[in-house]
């Protein structure tokens, strides 16, 4: 009897293996790609005229600052007195993007600031650099990418910049059509996954002049592998997750890779910054982006990079831990602000120089 059962079992196993493989990949994909329209709680407590810093736990050994020793201890001088709301349509898609506009002068250059995954325009990670730029005289626009914040929820899934880069370009074009901005006087700041979306937009649109990339990833394929290792899953599930993404949402998460944008810098400008302690997106991603950009920049372009130690210990209510991802703006705010403002002053023009 068992001799007849064993072949039947093997047949069943072979038949079901592809489905099990897909289900495992879909589990990885759905968890990794899930968005957070509520902005992980930021939108509830933050607005341009009053925002604070909330941090989370990471398994980091090196600590450079306690939270109360950083910029997070005093943000009031960065709060905005006024701003305007705007709704921006993505061409040829049923997507509307919710935006905040901080405009100084119609003739000043514009900077687009793009948040990270499960975040939104209400996160301190975008409000802080936006405030520094606005105080320096730049016009600034922050917006929620699709499936985030107050923008259209398309499918509740993040595509690692594959679709989101079209949101960046929609805002870039809107500034030209609505505000009369010239392409050479528009730059973009991308934070974490936002840096991926900005990088892909930079590769797709040769007239996007200048990008400042905070904690960027170079390859989503590598990120998936690293996330699997971090979570204790076998690395071979990477291909299953990529396949599940194509089936579930139609997204090829590695169709466009941010590193490819660094091959086409030419006469444009790139700035890359990354904490040396970052474990959420390992520092080698930023270093590779920097090296590749430097190899492709022409004499009229610029590539600047800044890597420094930064990890913040914190206690938020019952939560205690250390954060190393996107913390340089908190631990070294003066150096960060000066590099940010000077970079755009060189690449898209200072507010006083643009007429």
**294 and 169 in a common domain:** yes
pLDDT at residue 253, as a whole number: 75
Asked which of 253, 274, 296 is the last residue of a domain, the reply is: 253
105: CATH? 3.40.50.1820
Measured distance CA(181)–CA(162) in Å, rounded: 26
Measured distance CA(316)–CA(159) in Å, rounded: 30
Backbone angles phi, psi at 261, to 5 degrees: -70, -30
Task: Determine, yes or no, domain membership for 15.
Answer: yes
pLDDT at residue 43, as a whole number: 84
Check if the beta carbon of residue 78 is closer than 8 Å to that of residue 128. Answer: yes
Question: Has residue 109 got a pLDDT over 80?
Answer: yes
Number of domains within the chain? 2
> What is the mean pLDDT of the segment spanning 307-328?
90
**9 and 75 in a common domain:** no
pLDDT, tens digit (0-9, with 9 covering 90-100), for 3-36: 445 455 444 444 445 555 545 545 555 555 566 7
pLDDT at residue 239, as a whole number: 66
> What is the mean pLDDT of the segment spanning 194-221?
96
Question: Has residue 50 got a pLDDT over 50?
Answer: yes
306: nearest Cα among 258, 260, 343: 343
**27 and 51 in a common domain:** no
pLDDT at residue 39, as a whole number: 84
pLDDT at residue 34, as a whole number: 61
> What is the mean pLDDT of the segment spanning 108-120?
95
pLDDT at residue 262, as a whole number: 98
Task: Determine, yes or no, domain membership for 207.
Answer: yes
**55 and 19 in a common domain:** no
**77 and 190 in a common domain:** yes
**187 and 138 in a common domain:** yes
**226 and 115 in a common domain:** no
pLDDT at residue 3, as a whole number: 47
Task: Determine, yes or no, domain membership for 194.
Answer: yes
**94 and 69 in a common domain:** yes
Asked which of 206, 230, 253 is the last residue of a domain, the reply is: 253
pLDDT at residue 296, as a whole number: 98
Tell me 128's DSSP state.
Answer: H
pLDDT at residue 320, as a whole number: 81
> What is the mean pLDDT of the segment spanning 277-283?
93
> What is the mean pLDDT of the segment spanning 160-165?
91
Task: Determine, yes or no, domain membership for 239.
Answer: yes
Measured distance CA(124)–CA(140) in Å, rounded: 15
* Pairwise pLDDT comparison (243 vs 172), residue with the higher score: 172
**154 and 262 in a common domain:** yes
Task: Determine, yes or no, domain membership for 355.
Answer: no
Check if the beta carbon of residue 141 is closer than 8 Å to that of residue 170. Answer: no
pLDDT at residue 9, as a whole number: 44
**181 and 308 in a common domain:** yes
Asked which of 253, 272, 305 is the last residue of a domain, the reply is: 253
Question: Has residue 257 got a pLDDT over 70?
Answer: yes
* Pairwise pLDDT comparison (289 vs 317), residue with the higher score: 289
Please state which of the ranges 61-65, 178-182, 198-202, 232-236 shows the lowest mean pLDDT. Answer: 232-236
* Pairwise pLDDT comparison (77 vs 29), residue with the higher score: 77
Angle at 126 between CA 121 and CA 127, to 5 degrees: 85
pLDDT at residue 332, as a whole number: 98
pLDDT at residue 26, as a whole number: 53
Tell me 232's DSSP state.
Answer: T
Question: Has residue 261 got a pLDDT over 60?
Answer: yes
Task: Determine, yes or no, domain membership for 353.
Answer: no
**309 and 283 in a common domain:** yes
% of the chain at pLDDT higher than 70? 83
Task: Classify residue 281 by burial, with Cβ atoms within 10 Å: 0-12, 13-18, 19+.
Answer: buried
**290 and 145 in a common domain:** yes
pLDDT at residue 319, as a whole number: 75
Which domain range does residue 200 map to? Answer: 39-218+255-347
Task: Determine, yes or no, domain membership for 352.
Answer: no
Task: Determine, yes or no, domain membership for 57.
Answer: yes
Q: How confident is the model at residue 254 (pLDDT cuts 50, 70, 90)?
A: confident
């Amino acid at each position: 009897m068992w001799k007849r059962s064993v072949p039947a079992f093997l047949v069943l196993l072979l038949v079901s293996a592809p489905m099990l493989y897909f289900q495992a990949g879909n589990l990885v994909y759905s968890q990794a790609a899930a968005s957070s329209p509520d902005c992980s709680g930021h939108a509830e407590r933050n607005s341009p005229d009053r925002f604070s810093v909330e941090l989370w736990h990471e398994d980091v050994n090196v600590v450079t600052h306690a939270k109360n020793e950083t910029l997070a201890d005093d943000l009031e001088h960065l709060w905005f007195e006024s701003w305007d709301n705007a709704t921006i349509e993505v061409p040829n898609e049923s997507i509307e993007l919710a935006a905040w506009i901080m405009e100084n002068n119609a003739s000043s250059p514009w900077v687009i600031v793009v948040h990270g995954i499960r975040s939104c325009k209400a996160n301190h990670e975008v409000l802080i650099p936006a405030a520094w730029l606005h105080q320096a005289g730049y016009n600034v626009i922050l917006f929620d990418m699709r499936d985030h914040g107050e923008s259209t929820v398309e499918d509740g899934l993040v595509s690692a910049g594959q679709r989101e880069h079209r949101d960046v370009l929609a805002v870039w074009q809107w500034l030209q059509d609505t505000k009369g901005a010239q392409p050479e006087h528009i730059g973009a700041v991308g934070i974490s996954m936002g840096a991926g979306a900005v990088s892909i937009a930079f590769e797709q649109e040769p007239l996007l002049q200048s990008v400042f990339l905070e904690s960027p990833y170079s390859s989503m394929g590598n990120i998936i592998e690293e996330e699997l290792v971090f979570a204790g899953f076998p690395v071979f599930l990477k291909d299953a997750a990529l396949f599940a993404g194509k089936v579930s949402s139609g997204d090829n998460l590695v169709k466009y890779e941010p590193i490819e944008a660094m091959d086409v810098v030419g006469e444009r400008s790139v700035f890359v910054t990354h904490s040396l302690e970052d474990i959420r997106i390992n520092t080698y991603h930023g270093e590779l982006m920097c090296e590749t950009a430097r190899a492709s920049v022409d004499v009229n372009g610029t590539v600047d990079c800044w890597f420094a130690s930064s990890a913040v210990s914190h206690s938020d209510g019952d939560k205690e831990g250390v954060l190393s991802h996107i913390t340089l703006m908190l631990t070294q705010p003066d150096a960060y602000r000066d590099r940010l403002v000077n970079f755009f002053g060189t690449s898209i023009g200072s507010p006083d120089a643009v007429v």
